[in-house]
Chains A and B, each alone.
Chain A
Amino acid sequence: MSRNADNWLLRVTNLTKIYGEPNKNTVSLTGPEFNSNICPETDSIVACADISFDLYPGEVLGIVGESGSGKSTVVKLLYFDMEKTGGAAWLKPYADGSIDMLSESNQKKRFIRNNLMGMVYQNPRDGLNFNFTSGGNIAEKLIMAGNYHVGEIRGRASDLLNKTEVPVLRMDDRPANFSGGMQQRVQISKAIANNPPLLFLDEVTTGLDVSVQAKVLDLIRELQQDLGIAMIVVSHDLSVIRMLTDRTIVMKNGRIVESGLTDQILQDPQHEYSQLLVSSLL
């Protein structure tokens, strides 16, 4: 995919999320230089601030950082799970990228979420409704995008489960009865049900055992190559980042401290925190 200034898929500028009541110094008194994201004047907490990046079609972007660095906050803001404090984001397939999607009404946001995005959470309970069957969970996404044909819904659901290697026989079982790896696969099926151009993966392999981790990562890589979905992969695990991503953003205390090609960051980290991160890779 050729990259130039105009064919971005997702453009994010100055994305900020602050809890509490900030004052005008809050942003300038927090960050990696102060090794804190708590404002000394107001005690408000800066989850992330001034996050700007572009994502290109079919590209996989990694966000890495320690816990509390704000990496999950960034994807949750972009998936409308949280309300932003400041900043804007444009998505090319929505109104040709002319409208800031973070300022839209809830109804419009839901349309974007259901038709143009997918999200895989660390905990399958966040992404799946455990009272519905796995087929029903996938159906929810399809129904929200306007498909009201049971035969088609079931056809699409079994295709997706096939693709993610969940036995189709278990389509009418509840994900509560599945293993963790299978739940994660169902969640991935649901997330890609409407062929979204953009997929968010939030710590998808954390909590899975190593062999299952490898399988889930394989699956994600396959899907990426087959469908050409652009992805934002959030992880604290550098091996996941190395395996999946083209480009990486390193975050600390709610700020971007370094960004560049994944290989470059892993081979030759510039910022001292990135160096620490890479050197602690076992």
Chain B
Amino acid sequence: MVENIKYANKYNFAFIDEATKKEIRRKLLKAVAIPGYQVPYSSPEMPIARGWGTGGLHVTLAIIGRKDVFKIIDQGSDASVNACNLREFVHQMTNCQTTYDTAEATLIQTRHRITEEELTEDQIFVYQVPQPEPLRSVERYEYRTRQMHGEADYAKMWVSLYESYVRSGDIMLGAGYPVKVNKRYIMAPSPIPRWDVPNLNQSKALHLFGAGREKRLYAVPPYTTVEALEFEDVKFHTEDFKGTECYKTGYKKAFLDELYFDDGSKHFIINDSNFLDKLIEKASPKQHENKYINQLES
């Protein structure tokens, strides 16, 4: 008897069917070809609701291969709920090796952080993006924002930065600070802290962004110029952790989380869990270098 192997596996490799994967890959190629440009895509149904990381998952599943080593973090942590569940899902659907180790991974999906450890040319970094449109805060109509991107008409964005400075004495944008990619498109870098924004500039890795609910893909190819928006006299700056250090390692040059202990005392700890583990093990992971980190004392 000829055995029917078509239905031996309940799901296709990496869950999404091949035709849809091809579609997503083609859109990704377009996104890479036009750095910072938002490419509409199909955003197919997934076993999780749109807006819960589906964009990142689409990208990951469309490009993952059997030999990939997969890492996923949620706000710096390998162990939080979003990361654990998506890791388990990707593992079940692909049988790929998964890891916590940033250096070992070939494909890293993230929610709202870039790893402290420097990325390499062999790595692809995938972001889950809630709102891909950086101009949405100043222009609510999609047809208008598309026109504004098309004509590089970014005055409204700049005025909103000016207004923020006038009102508060500083540009009051924390997560998702708008950046200009390749001197052309203004892009929302997903809600990563300002600390991570300079690490996109001339990065060796390929950065892919997926917004499932908004059905948009965009990309920052390796070695692309990414500049945070700043005025000639009002500059972009990263979060200030002056006078604080990681209470476990004494390290100062990383993005820190604030912790309150039961006795009410306040402590700080490195946000990137894998980076923290490596420092505790006395390994010396190679960190991103940028002018903001470099001027800090360790």
Interface residues of A (CB under 8 A from B): 106-107, 110, 129, 132-133, 135-137, 139-140, 143-144, 148-151, 153-154, 172
Contacts and interface: CB of A to CB of B under 8 A. Distances in A.
Contacts of A133: 163, 166
A107 B231 CA distance: 23
9 contacts: A106-B151, A129-B159, A136-B166, A148-B232, A149-B232, A150-B231, A150-B233, A150-B234, A151-B233
B234 A172 contact: no
A144 B156 CA distance: 9
Nearest to A144: B155
A171 B160 CA distance: 15
Nearest to B153: A110
Interface of B: 151-153, 155-156, 158-160, 162-163, 165-167, 231-234
B266 to A, nearest CB: 34
Q: Is the interface of B mostly helix, strand, loop or mixed?
A: helix
B166 A143 contact: no
Contact of B163 (A106, A136, A144, A148): A136
Given A149-B232, A150-B231, A150-B233, A172 B166 contact: yes
B233 A139 contact: no
B166 A140 contact: no
Given A136-B166, A139-B162, A143-B162, A148 B231 contact: yes
Given A136-B159, A143-B159, 19 more contacts: A106-B151, A107-B152, A132-B160, A133-B166, A137-B159, A139-B162, A140-B155, A140-B156, A143-B155, A148-B158, A148-B231, A149-B231, A150-B165, A150-B231, A150-B233, A150-B234, A151-B233, A154-B166, A172-B166
Contacts of B165: 150
A110 B166 contact: no
Contacts of A110: 151, 153
B233 A149 contact: yes
Contact of B159 (A132, A151, A172): A132
A150 B231 CA distance: 7
A139 B151 contact: no
> Nearest 5 pairs between A and B by C-beta?
A149-B232, A144-B155, A143-B158, A140-B159, A136-B163
Contacts of A132: 159-160, 163
A73 B131 CA distance: 39
A29 B163 CA distance: 53
Most buried by A among B152, B158, B162, B232: B162
Nearest to A145: B155
B224 to A, nearest CB: 22
Nearest to B162: A139
Contacts of A172: 166-167
A223 B220 CA distance: 49
Nearest to B154: A143
Contact of B162 (A106, A107, A136, A144): A136
A153 B162 contact: yes
A176 to B, nearest CB: 14
Nearest to A107: B151
Contacts of A136: 159, 162-163, 166
A39 B163 CA distance: 49
Nearest to B156: A140
Contacts of B151: 106-107, 110
Contacts of A107: 151-152
